[in-house]
Chain A
Amino acid sequence: MSIILDLVGSVIIAGLLLLMMFNANTYQSNTRFASDSELQMQQNAKTLADILSYDLRKIGYECKTNPFLVADSERVSYYADMNRDGSQDIVTYYVSDTTRASSTPNPKDRVLIRVVNDDTIAGPSLGLTKVKFSYYNDVGTPTSDFNEIRFVKAELWIESIEPVDKEYLFTYWELTISPRNL
């Protein structure tokens, strides 16, 4: 009888230990996934900010007149000699609708579209859900007058591509640039 009790007790304890190990393993997997998603989102945000920062700093480069063609909250289009070949290029930035990134699990993400002349470059979504451009004059007051624009602010809302615990991680990045050629 005591042998049977020992066996039952051992099985119960072994089962509990196995359950604990299983839970620990699950927790580890979830934590890793959340951590990986957060890192990826951070890297995506930096990549998007770098792309925008590089191009927006070129606004008006080698342009003798006002470089802006469009300057609204969702789209910016301007002249700049992007490849330094002596001819003006037209650079346009805007975000696509959500269908462009329908292959990702996140239903809200979009693609940042960069058009240089007629060449459209649209990479992966990188979790971008919204972009907002704002324009300011030399004393920092918002303006829509192309001739007064001295600062361009880009705000990026970025989410993780995959949900973590059924929620999407979120980050916000803003950059204010004073293009030197304005």
Chain B
Amino acid sequence: MSGKTMIILALGFSIITSFLILKLNANSKEGLKTTVDHYKSIQSRLIANSGAEIYLEKMRRDKTLKGIFNNNVIMGGYYDIDISGPDSLLTITSTGYFDNTVHQSRIRASREPVQLPPTLGALYIFSDVPGLQLNGNLNIDGSDKNTNGTPGPEPALPGVALDNPSDSAYFINNIKPQIANDILGIGGAPSVYSTPDTTDWEAIVMNTIFAADMTVPSGSYSYGTFGTPTEPKITFMNGEIHLSGTCQGDGIMIINGNLTMSGQFTYRGILMVYDKSTIDCQITGNCGVYGTTIFVGSNVNLHSTGNAAFYYSSEAINNSQLHLKSSRFDIASWWE
């Protein structure tokens, strides 16, 4: 066999083999492309959904967050967010991009209203062991009062409500006649009643703290505003708190710890002092609360020496309910 023949044969085999390898490689590439395309489409969907979830979390904290936010980088791609509509009918459109794939998720949601604690009296004490040292000119009134002092539209509540009859008896037996005469509300002075209570206070407190607009550390606060009538706030105060001077606020104030109120401190809405163990509350000066004041703890010690006033005010409570925003969303539908 000549050399030429051998070369021709070798070339022929090489061409056939090369063609086969190329074809198999092409199929292999196509198979890989199928897998990669699938991965990309999943990735863009995950990016879109993650973007929506990230912004729902941001909206939990920033209760006025709305608008268009583009080019948010995540997971090797990016997403654009468009938040529109009122709190009762929010539309969140999240468009995820990964490589050359696009996925759009569209969520309809509404912000749930704030769950307010029940209003049981101008002053409500939920405790196993209440302790009292009430002096001075304490004014407690369960008759509905507007924040300007005029009568409110709602029926009167007890001036002081407690969670069981023995506590209300203890309260009446341990206040001075002068103060007893100043506890007004349903049934006349002293308006002190017990009320059956099955409220899950811990759940209410935790829900409210979850929605807090302001978180304030322990300390003394002699000035400053914790919400206004047009823009009430949910304020969470943690630890030993002393409110004094011209400090004031509107909305819901949760204090997890001991409270001292003095000076001209004024609050409109719901003031709630909560602790699983002992609460010591010192009230001096001319402080005043319109709305309702709630003490929840296993031991609640109340010491008063000044001219403090606790008034039931449906106006202040309703104003809080109207303006306050929770941090929870009801997801009506999720298109992905």
Checking B16, B31, B41, B334 against A24 with a beta-carbon cut-off of 8 angstroms, the contacting residue is: B16
**Chain B CB within 8 A of A141 CB:** no
Residue in A21, A38, A57, A181 whose beta carbon sits within 8 Å of that of B333 in the complex: A181
Residues of A within 8 A of B17 (CB): 24
Residue of A nearest to B17 (CB): A24
> Is B334 a contact of A32 with CB atoms below 8 Å?
no
Q: What residue in chain A is nearest B106 (Cβ atoms)?
A: A84
User: Are A35 and B23 touching (Cβ within 8 A)?
Assistant: yes
A19: B residues at CB distance < 8 A: none
Total A residues in contact with B, Cβ cutoff 8 Å: 26
Interface residues of A in 14-57 (CB under 8 A from B): 17, 21, 24-25, 27-28, 31-32, 35-36, 38-39, 42-43, 46, 49-50, 57
Question: Does any Cβ of B come within 8 Å of A58's Cβ?
Answer: yes
Query: Chain B 16-44 against A: per-residue CB contact (8 Å), 1 yes, 0 no?
Result: 11011001100110110011011001000
Q: Mark B42-70, 1 if CB is under 8 A from A, else 0.
A: 00000000000000000000000000000
For residue A162, CB closer than 8 A to chain B, the reply is: no
Give bound CA distance, A181 to B333, whole Å.
6
Nearest-CB distance from B205 to chain A (Å)? 27
* Inter-chain contacts of A50 with B (CB < 8 A): 38, 41
In the complex, chain A residues whose CB is within 8 Å of the CB of B27: 35-36, 38-39
Q: Is B336's CB within 8 Å of the partner chain A? A: yes
A58 to B9, CA, bound (A): 61
Cβ-closest chain A residue relative to B19: A28
Judge whether A42 and B34 touch: CB under 8 Å. Answer: yes
Asked whether B38 lies within 8 Å of A31 as measured between CB atoms, the reply is no
Give chain A nearest CB distance to B254 CB in angstroms.
Answer: 31
Task: Select which of B9, B34, B334 is within 8 A of A46 by beta carbon.
Answer: B34
Q: A24-B17, A50-B38 are in contact. Are A13 and B335 (CB under 8 A)?
A: no
Let me know if B31 and A13 touch, CB within 8 A.
no
The reply to whether B13 and A21 form a contact with Cβ atoms under 8 Å apart is yes
Q: Does A10 contact B (CB under 8 A)?
A: yes
The reply on B12 being an interface residue by CB < 8 A is yes
User: CA separation between A50 and B42, bound complex, in Å?
Assistant: 10
Interface of A is mostly: helix
A62 lies within 8 A of B333 (CB): yes
- A46-B38 contact given A10-B1, A24-B13, A61-B333, CB 8 Å threshold: yes
Complex Cα distance A25/B16, Å?
7
| CB closest residue in chain A, given B24 | A35
Chain B contacts for A46, CB-based, 8 A: 34-35, 37-38
- A43, B34: Cβ atoms closer than 8 Å: yes
- With a cutoff of 8 Å between Cβ atoms, the chain A residues found around residue B331 in the complex are 180
Assess the A61–B31 pair: CB atoms within 8 A: no
Which of B12, B27, B41 has the largest number of chain A CB atoms within 10 A? B27
Q: Which residues 146-168 of B have a CB within 8 angstroms of A?
A: none
Report B-chain residues with C-beta under 8 Å of the C-beta of A24.
13, 16-17
Q: Are B24 and A31 in contact (CB under 8 A)?
A: yes
Could you say which residues of chain B place their CB within 8 Å of the CB of A13? 1
Instruction: For the complex, give the distance between the alpha carbons of A32 and B19 in Å.
Output: 10
Chain A residues with CB below 8 A from B28, complex form:
35
A binding-site residues for B, Cβ under 8 Å: 10, 13, 17, 21, 24-25, 27-28, 31-32, 35-36, 38-39, 42-43, 46, 49-50, 57-58, 61-62, 84, 180-181
Known: A21-B13, A50-B38, A180-B336. 10 other contacts (CB 8 A): A13-B1, A28-B23, A35-B23, A35-B27, A35-B28, A39-B30, A46-B34, A61-B334, A62-B332, A180-B331
What are some 23 contacts across the A-B interface (CB < 8 A)? A13-B1, A17-B9, A21-B12, A25-B16, A28-B16, A28-B19, A31-B20, A32-B23, A35-B24, A36-B27, A38-B31, A42-B35, A43-B34, A46-B35, A46-B38, A49-B38, A50-B41, A58-B335, A62-B332, A62-B333, A84-B335, A180-B331, A181-B333
